[in-house]
Structure 1
Amino acid sequence: MELYRANNSQMDYNNDGRDPKSAKILGNNDDRLDSGLDSLKEEEYVEFVSDFKRIDLHELDEEPWRKELTEDGDTYLHLAVIHEATDAALKMIEMSHGSPFLNKQNNQRQTALHLAVITDQPVIVGQLLKAGCDSSLVDEQGNTALHIACRKGSMACFGLLTQGCSKHLPAILQMPNYSGHKCIHVVAVHGFLSLLESLIQLGADINAQEQCNGRTPLHLAVDFQNYEMVKLLVTKGADVNSLTYGGHTACHLTYGRQNTCIQRMLHEVTAPQLRELPESKSEDSGADDEEQSGSEDDIYDDIRMMGQ
């Protein structure tokens, strides 16, 4: 049974020649569809379909189909999205317009919207948004559905998410995941040029610093040696003099790297005093440091213990 079918026409291949599908989507922990996808065997899936067909979606009293959960916390809607049972998923979405059911999260805190983006089903994404699904909810790794679309390079899902959540879009663009990456950082890492341009047009901060060590999208593009991404960022006005928390410019990160074209480009546009690598602390330290340190007796004279 084929659990994942990507639509090539919907993916952004403008990423320095790398095919986004070259990464094994289902093999990446970031892209697991649910916490027990492999445990849902063929016979169990057939049983699920059989059970679902017996459910009366028009049963408006208790609607038990909204309350059923698997051991992984998946609802019938989650399962329908995972297994691309489009008709069933669309019917449930139609019957749940404005209902909290649409925002139920499984054990990995994934909503149906997260799963629809992972499986690249823009039709489901669009209907979920129209029905009131909350696009600002995050999974267990802090990713919104837009983070996932940016990681996968799905133009169709990206377009629907940015158009369908325009009210909350500025806040979503500023949301870092639990790795400290905003959507623009994710795009820079994965090299999707057209998505980067779209994010900038939508108001994403081209100089945003990721929370781990203060790298901007330009620093990340250098880290991944993506010449086209570096060139685009510089053209779009990225601050080439921006420093990481460790005090390094993007130009500093080019030293020791293979792509000399990136180094030459950044060397020309970086401020002269920020082009060369700063001297190491060990080289800076010496007699001056010793003079400033004073005697051993007063090195720790600012420490207080137990009020003393």
Structure 2
Amino acid sequence: MSVKALARSQDRALELPSLQNSERGHVEMIEKLTFLNLHTSEKDKEGNTALHLAAKHGHSPAVQVLLTQWQDINEMNENGETPFFLSVEGGHEECSKVLLTAGSDINIPNKLNISSLQIATRNGHASLVNFLLSENVDLHQKVEPKESPLHLAVINNHITVVNSLLSAQHDINILNQKQQTPLHVAADCGNVELVETLLKAGCDLKAVDKQGKTALAVASRSNHSLVVDMLIKAERYYAWREEHHESIGDPSTGFPLTFKQDHSLETRHIRTLLWGLAYHQLKANEWQRLARSWNFTDDQIRAIEAQWSGNESFREHGHRALLIWLHGTLMTQADPAKHLYEELVHAGFPKLAEKTRHFKSKTDLNSKKCVVS
């Protein structure tokens, strides 16, 4: 064997222990190899150096030792991944901090043009996402696939990460390849919690995707009735605030801002009244007439009607419309029962209005009896 061949053979023999020690985080062995100048910069078949492997597996002490002799901290493997990127992908916050302190570039994407923030967001590493945000990572880096960090957090149902991104001023109305906002995605999934979060943050309810559909139309198409009702509540509430030149925030009526179903004790009597009205008083097509008198749009009415369950669907549809009306009334009015009476008279239902007054008197009397007893 020639001298050169022997030298190459020796180098290869040293390469494997070097990479294995880094991958397994054997600090003492790495230090010995470094001291003897036997620690190589060779790579494995995926182009990973010892630093890549130590970072990938979150071995912070090994990374610190390796950094003392490393030239290019942002060196990429065959996939275009830096040691910092691999550390973030593995969810290794401490290791990521070590690498960033040593000068790693936080914004270098991999060959697929996926950023470290996208990886942390997709994997739901909430603490790591907060760390990246605190280090001024580029929130709106132009990367592929065209799913923003916020889209990825919504798709993967990481609500803590969604809140962190919104607090960091991530664009709430950013579009993906299908021209969908994060709200479109949450609505299509029927995710009540995420829809609530995005609605309370003041997202654009009028944005349309490539098919020209709003989030409301998307939820309606997917038969997510709870989300449909939430979106209609939000559309009506924010339209009212805009009309009255009020800023987005909790209403001043004492009721906290929410678009979810109401199960509170405070509204139980009025909700019972509305249930009776929908299921025992209103006839087919009458709820639409009432809804139009309350300025429900045609799109909103169609979205409610889309969840059809048979010939008696109109009762459920009417009940949902009445509860949506109640939500707006509670946010903007003091006395929903009185307001309901006046609205029924105005819409041409005087007999129903009298029945609601009778029902209110009866429930008030029962309430007083309960208090006395």
TM-score bracket relative to the smaller structure: 0.5 to 0.7
What is the CA deviation profile of residues 46-104 of structure 1, one whole-angstrom value per residue up to 9, with x for unaligned ones? 97228846521696xxx963x321121101111112344332112223544xx5x2111
Note if contact 2:18-2:30 (Cα within 8 Å) is conserved in structure 1.
no
Matched, 1:196 2:167: no
Matched, 1:68 2:42: yes
- Counterpart position of 1:254: 219
Note if contact 1:214-1:243 (Cα within 8 Å) is conserved in structure 2.
yes
In the alignment of these two chains, the number of paired residues is: 221
Note if contact 1:219-1:249 (Cα within 8 Å) is conserved in structure 2.
yes
Note if contact 2:57-2:87 (Cα within 8 Å) is conserved in structure 1.
no
Matches of 1:107 and 1:118, distance apart in 2? 16
- Counterpart position of 1:85: 59
Matched, 1:184 2:150: yes
- Counterpart position of 1:303: none
Shift in CA distance, 259/76, structure 1 to aligned 2, threshold 3 Å: same
Amino acid at match of 2:113: G
Shift in CA distance, 239/45, structure 1 to aligned 2, threshold 3 Å: farther
- Counterpart position of 1:31: none
Matched, 1:268 2:244: no
**With CA pairs under 8 Å and 6+ residues apart, which has the higher RCO, 1 or 2?**
1
Matched, 1:109 2:80: yes
Matches of 2:150 and 2:134, distance apart in 1? 17
- Counterpart position of 2:113: 142
TM-score by length of 2: 0.54
* Larger of the two Rg values belongs to structure: 2
The alpha-carbon deviation at position 257 of structure 1 amounts to 2.5
Greater share of helix residues, 1 or 2?
A: 2
Shift in CA distance, 187/47, structure 1 to aligned 2, threshold 3 Å: closer
Matched, 1:124 2:95: yes
TM-score by length of 1: 0.65
Identity %: 22
Matches of 1:185 and 1:125, distance apart in 2? 24
Matches of 1:140 and 1:274, distance apart in 2? 44
The alpha-carbon deviation at position 45 of structure 1 amounts to 7.1
- Counterpart position of 2:33: 55
CA RMSD for the aligned pairs? 2.6
Matches of 1:252 and 1:244, distance apart in 2? 10
Structure 2 unmatched ranges of 5 or more = 1-15, 237-296, 304-373
Note if contact 1:117-1:148 (Cα within 8 Å) is conserved in structure 2.
yes
Note if contact 1:109-1:140 (Cα within 8 Å) is conserved in structure 2.
yes
What is the CA deviation profile of residues 87-138 of structure 1, one whole-angstrom value per residue up to 9, with x for unaligned ones? 2112223544xx5x21111111111112112222111011111111111111
